Structure 1
Amino acid sequence: MKPSIRNGYTLEVLFIAGIVAISFSAIFIKWSQAEVSVIAMYRLYLANLMLLPFIWKYKQEIARLTLRQWGLLVVAGAALGLHFLLWMGSLRFTTVASSTVILTLQPIVVMLGSFYFFRLHANRAMIIGMGIALVGSFAIGIGDLRLSGAALYGDMLSFLSVIAISMHMLLGKQLREHISAYVYNFWVFAFAASLIALYNVFNDFSFGGYAQSEWGLFILLALIPTLFGHYLFNWLLKYMNASAVSMAILGEPVVASVLAWLLLNEKLTLFQLGAGLFILLGVWIFVRYGKETNRE
């Protein structure tokens, strides 16, 4: 059922719930001792296992998918899988605060993709906001380089994951105009998980032998940040533009950093805090005052 968009309350509540859900992802990953690619594979396969009982309801829609739509689903899934590999890998080298705050560059990358693929034009506010956010991101990289080269490497992985998830969202916006949230998510998750599974086979990573606590974390990742986070945001793409949905990433570093402080005993340095706020300011200006216009 389509939510009431007139007052916007339903969308706002779901939007906030999704932000809280995805913020737990970094915590669960930090707690796990498994390879990040194994974690990513199982969070997606288990999410699909939870969705599987409903697939019969959508059998006719699946049968109507065109060859082009199947191709786009594969590419969208590959982009999501690559995002998980890169971002989850970044958490092994840098802090939750640094990794998640770099993800806030996502709305800018999504908008740049919209300019290129959908022929949209940026106004001055977008350019100013983009510049401020990029300066903040550069500052985090310089600050983490002072801590260790590994931290900077983690920051770079996080930034590359932004490119991948932005491609995923742009494709998702196009596909969700004609495909239900269930069909889109089920197949994108399946293709992403299968790509990561091939990566695990190639690297000879074990598919089993994990402790019960690890399986518990896999299930929590599938349920909370994947279904209540990524699935929800992909559903919202039907009713909101891709740039607006990507704004959810603005709340993640705030919630994730608080959770990391409470649950992981990670501390925020003043430099990290200042650079992070600089990025948030830039992206806020970009989204709040920026306007999309079609190029002639």
Structure 2
Amino acid sequence: MNAKKPPVPVPLLMLIGIVAISFSSIFIKWSSAPASVQGMYRLLFTSLLMLPFARPYSGAAFALRRKDWVLLGFSGMMLALHFLLWMGSLKFTSVASSTMIMALEPVFIMIGCYVLYKEKSTLSAITGLGIAIFGTVFIGWGDIGLSPDNVKGDLLSIGGTAAVAVHMMVGQRLVSRMPSYLYSLIVFISASIVFAVYNVLAGIPFFDYPPKEWGIFVLLAVVPTVFGHILFNWLMQYVSATTVSMNILGEPVGASILAFLLLGEKLNGLQWTGGLLVMAGLAVYLYAGRKKTLGIEDSLPSAS
């Protein structure tokens, strides 16, 4: 972390980032295009924005081994699966429920790294994990009282969270051997290709969408990605990873407020209880001191 100060105050930049990533769910809700098309163009347009700045990393790209390219492709496939499931979840459940479940990403990573790498966490972190999972049960319980579709959306969001956790764990290994910018660019392009193949096989059209949809595709690439996750990555040179990682608690709150104002979505008592438990559990977990497993957030954009 660099001791110098950014040209704009850190709290203001963090607020901008939280608002930006909170709009991701809203844009997805506004779109009537299939989730696979939204995901494909979001990643494709983000890649196009990144390409002009990729030249300094060309040498590192040529130095990659065959095994690295295989892992990059697998990471891209997991990222595409994440977007497919999470974006799809928003067609069935509320923004609040979906984003609160998505906030469990660090918990999934902690579990995965324990299973795969035997990395252990502190008792405080495990306690936070338990509280967050208990809160997720409350969210699902509240959604059961609404409709079966809401529960389906919750399950899709859980699947999307698991997929992005795998994506991040693979990335943890890769960014130790290559620049994070290059990793992100290649994975975004790989995921775009996965989506393209999926859309071809599913018979989903690529171009038959009104101007409104194309505008949303661009907004998804620019607002939550550039002014959200890439901004957070840039902030890592000025503040600690733990400080930036706490923004994961801001997205469900911001998205829920925006969903209430722009979509008229409301939560019942059980959903509010579950959401508060998830946020409290994550706060305990993150403040307990995250293991190096989650250090990948220092260099990789989040997926939501």
- 2:277 corresponds in structure 1 to 278
Matched, 1:135 2:121: no
The structural deviation recorded for 1:269 is: 2.4
- 1:260 corresponds in structure 2 to 259
The whole-number CA distance in structure 1 between the counterparts of 2:37 and 2:292 is 42
TM-score by length of 1: 0.88
Residue 173 to residue 290, structure 1, CA distance change in 2 (3 Å): same
The whole-number CA distance in structure 1 between the counterparts of 2:221 and 2:290 is 35
Residue 7 to residue 129, structure 1, CA distance change in 2 (3 Å): farther
The whole-number CA distance in structure 1 between the counterparts of 2:118 and 2:127 is 20
- 1:209 corresponds in structure 2 to 208
- 2:48 corresponds in structure 1 to 49
The whole-number CA distance in structure 2 between the counterparts of 1:57 and 1:287 is 34
Are the equivalent residues in 2 in contact too, given 1:132–1:281 (CA < 8 A)?
A: yes
The structural deviation recorded for 1:141 is: 0.7
Are the equivalent residues in 2 in contact too, given 1:173–1:238 (CA < 8 A)?
A: no
Residue identity in the other structure for 1:146:
G
Deviations 1:113-137 (A, max 9, x none): 2323343212221222111111110
Residue identity in the other structure for 1:41:
M
Matched, 1:26 2:33: no
TM-score by length of 2: 0.86
Matched, 1:173 2:172: yes
The structural deviation recorded for 1:233 is: 5.3
The structural deviation recorded for 1:248 is: 3.4
The whole-number CA distance in structure 2 between the counterparts of 1:225 and 1:293 is 25
Residue identity in the other structure for 2:152:
Y
Structure 1 counterpart of 2:2, from 1, 4, 7? 4
Matches within 5 A, 1:28-107: 28-107=27-106
Pick which of 52-61 and 87-96 moved more.
Answer: 52-61
Are the equivalent residues in 2 in contact too, given 1:44–1:226 (CA < 8 A)?
A: no
- 1:228 corresponds in structure 2 to 227
Deviations 1:71-124 (A, max 9, x none): 221111111111000000000000001000111211111122232334321222
- 2:198 corresponds in structure 1 to 199
Residue identity in the other structure for 1:121:
K
Size of the aligned set, in residue pairs, is: 292
Deviations 1:171-226 (A, max 9, x none): 22222223223211111001111111111111101111211111011001011122
The whole-number CA distance in structure 2 between the counterparts of 1:185 and 1:34 is 25
Residue 237 to residue 82, structure 1, CA distance change in 2 (3 Å): farther
The whole-number CA distance in structure 1 between the counterparts of 2:165 and 2:71 is 14
Residue identity in the other structure for 1:4:
N
Are the equivalent residues in 2 in contact too, given 1:40–1:84 (CA < 8 A)?
A: yes
Are the equivalent residues in 2 in contact too, given 1:130–1:282 (CA < 8 A)?
A: yes
The whole-number CA distance in structure 1 between the counterparts of 2:22 and 2:162 is 19
- 2:111 corresponds in structure 1 to 112
Matched, 1:187 2:186: yes
The structural deviation recorded for 1:260 is: 0.9
SS of 1:120's equivalent? coil
Pick which of 208-217 and 7-16 moved more.
Answer: 7-16
Listed as ranges, the gaps of 5+ residues in structure 2 are 294-304
Pick which of 20-29 and 228-237 moved more.
Answer: 228-237
The whole-number CA distance in structure 2 between the counterparts of 1:14 and 1:165 is 25
Deviations 1:31-61 (A, max 9, x none): 1111111111011111112222233332222
The structural deviation recorded for 1:273 is: 1.4
- 2:249 corresponds in structure 1 to 250
The whole-number CA distance in structure 2 between the counterparts of 1:100 and 1:270 is 17
Residue 30 to residue 293, structure 1, CA distance change in 2 (3 Å): closer
SS of 2:23's equivalent? helix
The whole-number CA distance in structure 2 between the counterparts of 1:193 and 1:183 is 15
SS of 1:121's equivalent? coil
The whole-number CA distance in structure 2 between the counterparts of 1:216 and 1:28 is 10
The whole-number CA distance in structure 1 between the counterparts of 2:264 and 2:155 is 24
SS of 2:54's equivalent? helix
